[in-house]
Amino acid sequence: MNQFEQIKSDFFAFLQQHLNITISVIATSQFDLNIDEDKQAFGDINANIAMICAKELKQNPRTLAQDIINNFKHPFVNKIEVAGPGFLNFFMTPAWFQALALEVAAKKESYFSDKPTHPKKINVEFVSANPTGPMHVGHGRNGILGDVLSNVLTFLHYDVTKEFYINDAGAQITKLGNSFKIRCLQNLGHDIQLPEEAYHGENLIDLARTCVAQFGKNLEQEPDNFFQMYAKQHMLAELKTTLENYGILFDIWFSEKSLHDHGKVEAALERLNKTGHTYHLEGALWFRSTTFGDDKDRVLKKANGELTYVAADVAYLIDKLERGFDELVMVLGHDHHSYKVRLNAIMQALGYDVKKLNVILYQLVHIMKDGAPVKMSKRSGNMVTLSEVVEEVGKNVARFFFLNRKADAELQFDLDLALKQSNENPVFYIQYAYVRTLSIQRKASEENIIINATCEFNQEFTDLEKLILKKICSLKSMICNIGNNHQIHLLAYYTHELAGLFHRYYNMQRVIDANNQEITQQRLHVIGLVQQTLRTCLFLMGVTPMEKM
């Protein structure tokens, strides 16, 4: 429990005792650090408990607020004021800010996360692109959401497994194999055209050239399965390379085909049949998913005996849950909303707790260049690939730009902005702040100033330093909130805001004062806290900090 959490705990305990209010009611109130730069006149901590409890206690909110002020005393609280209809504004003592700075300095990165008593085992499945061609920029957004969330959950001491589900069974792979076979035969001189519904990407032309060089005319005798496997393996290797260049490594690459090969799909359907939520109609096996809120029932097995994707979904869901995960997180495109409903239906039918499943839906990505959108079409091969974007702007910029927008809002990725080396580019702005902290430390070294291993922080903090300390402190609760609500974009916003505060500090505050060693040491340590916090944020986002610019 840090200094802010201790104040909160003490205040809530007082409310229970003085007002005889249950903790469940108190917990619905806000008790927040004031980190709004434009509202610092309203204190360091803001609470709305008087307005929350006024109706229950049959009191006027401002009267209740004044009663709290008259009776709550704390050595770290300088004064409390009432504002508006009954807000409580806490103004903290210099000693509290000193204690806060000492705590952050002592605990370093561990300050921002507590070890849970019962750490959950969490599976995060993301990207899961069909291995039928290069990944597009939508996969880039999917990937950053899943990867950064996994980083945050791991930072919070959960047991996290990052998983990629390979859709290597069914019609898509069959079409890939047929498309690739035709490209190989074309390379061998056969007069054969690619059907309209086939994959037309140039990557298959390049792969066919490689395959023909390896096997020659013997390819004419190979069965269809050969072309499917060859293309899938090479496409999958390409996906892995692209993701690695993007900074993403998976713990498990799970094959859909393995579910079929090991009889898990049939076993899953048999288990679902026993629940009484399936039926036969016109020779097909159906799942009565409308019972659980789906807009229509789903076919599990067609009349010709062919298994559907839904059947594999049932088996895969069972497989995950039987691996002992306490929570399943999936990152899916916005057009998969019905898929989320379907998975919930499957879980309910099988008796699983639907609260174990959390689906993050993200909106489209529009690549912009010269003020105009760049059109994409995977089918024709005319597309901006994730690999091209990463090569163009670099891993760091690509990751941040894909993250820097709420998942359920459309994202415009401005290539021109991404390439700018100025403060307009948020990545440059953040990296510049980090580099500045290093340059100040180097300058101190050049002036033979040895930064003490510890600092007492016994000099009066400026208002801006107080705001910076509160901003640093607030990262802990924000990381915890991301772990619960999966609003990953908040990390990008926070990092940019902290960088902005530091740039203001750099421009306003002379750090090294030859005539005052104590204030110099304290300011160098404040800068060290900013540097440490920026580094933690960059680490969680998978962005490599720059040493020089």
Q: What is the mean pLDDT of residues 64-87?
A: 95
Q: What is the DSSP letter of 194?
A: P
For residues 83 and 175, membership in a common domain is answered with no
pLDDT in tens, 217-241: 999 999 999 999 999 999 999 999 9
Nearest partner of 411 among 492, 483, 308, judged by Cα = 492
Confidence of residue 377 (pLDDT cuts 50, 70, 90): very low
The secondary element (H helix, E strand) that includes residue 327 is strand 327-333
The secondary element (H helix, E strand) that includes residue 105 is helix 94-107
Q: Is 120 within the bounds of a domain?
A: no
- Beta-strand (E) ranges in 167-209? none
Say how far apart CA 543 and CA 247 lie, in whole Å: 9
For residues 181 and 77, membership in a common domain is answered with no
Confidence of residue 378 (pLDDT cuts 50, 70, 90): very low
Q: Is 450 within the bounds of a domain?
A: yes
Q: Which CATH number does the domain housing residue 457 bear?
A: 1.10.730.10
Helix axes 517-541, 463-485, angle to 10 degrees: 20
Which two structure tokens, joined as six digits, stand for 250? 């998976």
Indicate the SS3 state at residue 104.
helix
For residues 77 and 179, membership in a common domain is answered with no
Contact 491, 478 (CB under 8 A): yes
Q: Is 25 within the bounds of a domain?
A: yes
Confidence of residue 281 (pLDDT cuts 50, 70, 90): very high
pLDDT for 382 equals 61
Q: Is 333 within the bounds of a domain?
A: no
Question: From its phi and psi, is residue 43 left (phi > 0), alpha (psi between -120 and 50) or beta?
Answer: left
Contact 489, 541 (CB under 8 A): no
Which among 45, 74, 92 is the end of a domain? 92
Which two structure tokens, joined as six digits, stand for 507? 């421009």
Q: Tokens 């990867």 correspond to what residue? A: 147
Contact 511, 469 (CB under 8 A): no
Say how far apart CA 289 and CA 342 lie, in whole Å: 7
Contact 246, 391 (CB under 8 A): no
Which residues, at least 6 apart from 147, have a Cβ–Cβ distance to it below 8 Å? 126, 162, 247, 248, 542
Percent of the chain with pLDDT over 90: 84
Which two structure tokens, joined as six digits, stand for 495? 């990092």
Amino acid at 343: L
Is the four-CA dihedral 331, 337, 342, 348 of positive or negative sign?
A: positive
Nearest partner of 287 among 307, 311, 306, judged by Cα = 311
Q: What is the mean pLDDT of residues 314-334?
A: 96
Say how far apart CA 61 and CA 48 lie, in whole Å: 9
Q: How far is CA 35 from CA 41, 45, 530, in A?
A: 11, 9, 15
Confidence of residue 1 (pLDDT cuts 50, 70, 90): confident
DSSP for 357-413 reads: EEEEEE--EEEEETTEEPP-BTTTTB--BHHHHHHHH-HHHHHHHHHSS-TTS-EEE
Say how far apart CA 189 and CA 194 lie, in whole Å: 14
Indicate the SS3 state at residue 68.
helix
Range of the domain at 445: 426-541
DSSP-assigned beta bridge partners for residue 377: 382
Q: Which CATH number does the domain housing residue 82 bear?
A: 3.30.1360.70
Nearest partner of 380 among 128, 182, 134, judged by Cα = 134
Which among 230, 246, 281 is the end of a domain? 230
Q: Is 23 within the bounds of a domain?
A: yes
pLDDT for 381 equals 53
Query: Does the pLDDT at position 371 exceed 60?
Result: yes
Say how far apart CA 10 and CA 6 lie, in whole Å: 6
Which among 92, 111, 132 is the end of a domain? 92
Query: Does the pLDDT at position 466 exceed 60?
Result: yes
Which residues, at least 6 apart from 296, have a Cβ–Cβ distance to it below 8 Å? 289, 290
Contact 53, 60 (CB under 8 A): no
From 91-100, 318-327, 450-459, the region with the lowest mean pLDDT: 450-459
Return the number of other C-beta atoms located less than 10 Å from residue 421's C-beta: 9
Q: Is 386 within the bounds of a domain?
A: no
pLDDT in tens, 330-368: 999 998 888 999 999 999 999 999 999 999 999 999 999
Q: Is 251 within the bounds of a domain?
A: no
For residues 531 and 436, membership in a common domain is answered with yes
Confidence of residue 117 (pLDDT cuts 50, 70, 90): confident
Q: Is 177 within the bounds of a domain?
A: yes
Which two structure tokens, joined as six digits, stand for 22? 């249950």
pTM: 0.93
Which two structure tokens, joined as six digits, stand for 108? 């370093």
Please state, rounded to an integer, the average pLDDT across all residues of the chain: 94
pLDDT for 379 equals 38
The secondary element (H helix, E strand) that includes residue 67 is helix 61-71
Q: What is the mean pLDDT of residues 464-480?
A: 97
Say how far apart CA 411 and CA 418 lie, in whole Å: 14
For residues 528 and 438, membership in a common domain is answered with yes
For the chain, the domain total comes to 3
For residues 438 and 536, membership in a common domain is answered with yes
Say how far apart CA 299 and CA 297 lie, in whole Å: 7
Q: What is the mean pLDDT of residues 10-38?
A: 93
Burial of 432 per CB tally in 10 Å (0-12, 13-18, 19+): buried
pLDDT for 74 equals 96
Q: Which residues of 298-332 are buried (b: 16+ CB within 10 A; e: fewer)?
A: bbbbeeeeebbbbbbbbbbbbebbeeebebbbbbb
Burial of 270 per CB tally in 10 Å (0-12, 13-18, 19+): exposed
Which two structure tokens, joined as six digits, stand for 335? 């057009």
